A and B are shown apart, each in its own frame.
Chain A
Amino acid sequence: MSDRSLLEIDNVQTSFRVGDSYYAAVDGVSLNVERNEVLAIVGESGSGKSALAFSIMGLHNSHKTKIEGSIRLNGKDVNHLSTSELNKVRGKDMGMIFQEPLTALNPLKTIKDQITEALDLHTNFSAKQQNERALHLLNEVGIPRADKVMNQYPHELSGGMRQRVVIAIAISCDPSLLIADEPTTALDATIQSQILDLLNELKEEKDSGIILITHDLGVVAEMADRVAVMYAGQVVELADVMSLFKQPKHPYTRSLLSSVPSTQDEKDMLHVIQGVVPSLPKMPRTGCRFKARIPWMADDTHEENPELREVADGHYVRCTCYKHFYFPEEEAEKDVAAHRE
């Protein structure tokens, strides 16, 4: 691995206890993030994106979860640290931005108190220095009248401002890794792009890596350097953002992309992927997990034990079913066209 490498996730399996048995919500995921890089993780609800992020941050309830594999941040395995050791890393080397900025802030504490929480833990700043740093951070994330906002409570701020505060808290100790769990889902479109710009600026400035978890492909196109598409706990396709959007391979990626409403084609109907992500206990553990949702594809197009293979430079795809994949609508259209001729 190069020295730019920041986070290496190797064969991570996160299992939740349901009843008496464990079911893997994240199943053998290997990813790496470099400095000054945005890795986007895309997928439907229930595909294991957040479960993976929580595994990295060590936020899972240890009684109901089993995390196997290695998660190395700056060469240090954070998966097997004790809580107190992990507390030294969290906040300092990695920070997290939550989806819902209102619930991510304590309603009873002023913005200043919430920003200085991490400074209190990880630095030897005096109260005055903490104050200055908090003010500096608020300015950095683009909050106007920062000195006033410092003494306000979360409910007095707008959604965009709150999310900026959440970001300010996450970056307060200059972490090298930022995990943004759907940072713009709760915000409206204009604020979304401002927040994304802000994240981009921070990444450049601090030379940090960002894991961006989202199901918004527009956000991915704008922000990401590389994209990992997750389905049912596995990475089904991993590629840099250009090749993923230009030459999507895996049926799931192609389905996702064709589900995005577009102004260019004149189709009346929006493409819908059949079915839903199977629930944890019902998830098939062998074969291609996406098989049930593309029933028109013949069984022999799938691999028996699908693996992630490099099909082009830096472009990985799981299972062989992508080779012959087609949408039934397209096929029907072709048939109609052939008939006319």
Chain B
Amino acid sequence: MEQSQQAETMADPQDMDAGKSPPGWRILLTEVLRDKVALFSLLLVVSIMMIVYLVPLFLSQEEIVRVDLFAIHEPPSSEFWLGTDYGGRDVFGQLIIGTRNSLTVGIGVTAVSGMIGIILGVVAGYFGNTVDNIIMRIVDFFFVLPTLLIVIVFIVIVPQYTVWSFIFIMSMFLWMGIARIIRSKALRERELDYIKASRTLGSSHLKIIFTQLMPNLSSIIIVTMTLNLAANIGIESGLSFLGFGFPEETPSLGTLISYATNPTTLEERWWIWVPASILILVLMLSINNVGQALRRAADAKQRRG
């Protein structure tokens, strides 16, 4: 890594003059900018996010999910851009709000499960031994649980079922993978001399974790979280498709796609489910592309530039 970084500095006389080398985030940025597919994906994801989070400010969810018996199953028209579903509800509006809900869940689950995973992983990896053993056995325990089944059961029994309770329930069962990855990296990192050197200076464990260890784990954290985001959006859609996601008053990409379980809708009313399917495909592929570019940036062996 050092060599390639040095080579970069050498090649760029401006950098030499400034006496500064590309810091970590700039390597990430260069890698994403160099990879045209990843750059395109990033722009796509960002613009989709802007649209689905800004447009609903002018749309009302109640308005869109209100049943209109005089406009059932209408094909796309100038009034309903993507037609209507069996309740006469505007599919385009549902698509926008559905994407927003799916994204919120995906981001929320990634953030919450990421927090749990990172904290436990870093603590297990840094302290090792007994602490590590205890935390990793908890991880193993959660891993053997039939996650999907338990999530479904929770969803059925929780009375006040909102986006936030959904995020919370999902996160409870999705943090283990992150904890494992972070722990293995932390285990390797803590053996390096700079951690020991910091201890010889009298720094406390907490300070070492935050100022020495975490910055060196940042690239792996960013990569893992990005790839997880794509996976989590998929999980939410899958559950909604099975009918265990959000109720119909809360549209999501999964609920839109689940209309395709009706054979007539599948064959004749493509406007209901095709846009949602394409959108979810585009979102997941794009986020994955960005994640791959980040992963390359974090690992010098895979780096292109």
CB of B201 closer than 8 Å to a CB of A = yes
Give the nearest-CB partner of B199 in chain A: A59
Q: Given A63-B129, A156-B9, A105–B194 Cβ distance below 8 Å?
A: yes
CB of B200 closer than 8 Å to a CB of A = yes
Contacts of B19 in A (CB 8 A): 148, 151-152
Most-contacted residue by chain A among B19, B21, B130, B194 (CB, 10 A): B194
Q: Let me know if A105 and B197 touch, CB within 8 A.
A: yes
With A and B bound together, what is the CA distance between A92 and B211 in angstroms?
Answer: 20
Interface size on A, residues (CB 8 A): 42
Q: Let me know if B129 and A156 touch, CB within 8 A.
A: no
Q: Chain A 86-108, CB within 8 Å of chain B: the 1/0 string?
A: 11111110111011101111111
Q: Which of B129, B197, B203, B215 contacts A96 (CB 8 A)?
A: B197
Q: Which of B128, B192, B204 contacts A61 (CB 8 A)?
A: B128
Q: Let me know if A106 and B216 touch, CB within 8 A.
A: yes
CB of A239 closer than 8 Å to a CB of B = no
Most-contacted residue by chain B among A86, A94, A104 (CB, 10 A): A104
Shortest Cβ distance from residue A151 to the other chain B in the assembled complex, whole angstroms: 6
Q: Which of B24, B192, B199, B218 contacts A90 (CB 8 A)?
A: B199
Contacts of B218 in A (CB 8 A): 108
Q: Let me know if A155 and B5 touch, CB within 8 A.
A: yes
Shortest Cβ distance from residue A268 to the other chain B in the assembled complex, whole angstroms: 40
CB of B20 closer than 8 Å to a CB of A = yes
Q: Let me know if A103 and B201 touch, CB within 8 A.
A: no
Q: Let me know if B196 and A91 touch, CB within 8 A.
A: no
CB of A201 closer than 8 Å to a CB of B = no
Q: Let me know if A108 and B24 touch, CB within 8 A.
A: yes
Give the nearest-CB partner of A108 in chain B: B215
With A and B bound together, what is the CA distance between A169 and B21 in angstroms?
Answer: 22
Q: Chain A 157-178, CB within 8 Å of chain B: the 1/0 string?
A: 0000000001001101000000
CB of A293 closer than 8 Å to a CB of B = no
Considering only residues 63-109 of chain B, those with a C-beta below 8 Å from chain A are none
With A and B bound together, what is the CA distance between A102 and B204 in angstroms?
Answer: 22
Most-contacted residue by chain B among A90, A92, A100, A151 (CB, 10 A): A90
Q: Let me know if B194 and A84 touch, CB within 8 A.
A: no
Q: Let me know if B194 and A122 touch, CB within 8 A.
A: no
CB of B202 closer than 8 Å to a CB of A = yes
Q: What's the dominant secondary structure at chain B's contact region?
A: helix
Q: Given A88-B202, A107-B216, A98–B197 Cβ distance below 8 Å?
A: yes
Q: Which of B6, B20, B194, B204 contacts A106 (CB 8 A)?
A: B194
CB of B267 closer than 8 Å to a CB of A = no
Contacts of B128 in A (CB 8 A): 61, 63
Contacts of B130 in A (CB 8 A): 63
CB of A222 closer than 8 Å to a CB of B = no
Q: Let me know if A61 and B129 touch, CB within 8 A.
A: yes
Q: Given A105-B194, A106-B212, A90–B21 Cβ distance below 8 Å?
A: no
Q: Let me know if A59 and B129 touch, CB within 8 A.
A: no
Q: Let me know if A98 and B196 touch, CB within 8 A.
A: yes
Q: Chain A 35-47, CB within 8 Å of chain B: the 1/0 string?
A: 0000000000000
Considering only residues 102-146 of chain B, those with a C-beta below 8 Å from chain A are 128-130
Considering only residues 186-207 of chain B, those with a C-beta below 8 Å from chain A are 192-194, 196-205
Chain B residues touching A, range: 20 to 34
Q: Given A106-B215, A152-B21, A155-B21, A118–B201 Cβ distance below 8 Å?
A: yes
Most-contacted residue by chain A among B6, B20, B199, B201 (CB, 10 A): B201
Q: Let me know if A151 and B193 touch, CB within 8 A.
A: no
With A and B bound together, what is the CA distance between A151 and B21 in angstroms?
Answer: 10
Give the nearest-CB partner of B130 in chain A: A63
Q: Let me know if B201 and A90 touch, CB within 8 A.
A: yes
Shortest Cβ distance from residue B89 to the other chain A in the assembled complex, whole angstroms: 51
Give the nearest-CB partner of A150 in chain B: B19
CB of B268 closer than 8 Å to a CB of A = no
Contacts of A90 in B (CB 8 A): 199-202
Considering only residues 1-40 of chain B, those with a C-beta below 8 Å from chain A are 1-2, 5-6, 9, 19-21, 23-24
CB of A206 closer than 8 Å to a CB of B = no
Q: Let me know if B202 and A121 touch, CB within 8 A.
A: yes
Q: Let me know if B201 and A91 touch, CB within 8 A.
A: yes
Give the nearest-CB partner of A54 in chain B: B196
A-B contact pairs, 21 of them (CB 8 A): A59-B200, A61-B128, A63-B128, A87-B202, A88-B202, A91-B200, A92-B202, A98-B197, A104-B194, A105-B197, A107-B1, A108-B24, A109-B215, A117-B198, A118-B202, A121-B201, A122-B202, A153-B21, A155-B5, A155-B6, A156-B9
Spell out A's residues near B (CB within 8 Å): 57, 59, 61, 63-64, 83-84, 86-92, 94-96, 98-100, 102-109, 117-118, 121-122, 148, 151-153, 155-156, 166, 169-170, 172
- Other A-B contacts than A104-B197, A152-B21, A155-B1, 17 sampled, CB-CB below 8 A, are A91-B202, A96-B196, A104-B194, A105-B197, A106-B198, A107-B1, A108-B24, A117-B203, A118-B202, A121-B201, A121-B203, A152-B20, A153-B21, A155-B5, A156-B9, A156-B21, A169-B201
Spell out B's residues near A (CB within 8 Å): 1-2, 5-6, 9, 19-21, 23-24, 128-130, 192-194, 196-205, 211-212, 215-216, 218
Which 7 pairs across A and B sit closest by C-beta, in order of nearness? A91-B202, A91-B201, A104-B193, A155-B2, A118-B201, A90-B202, A96-B200
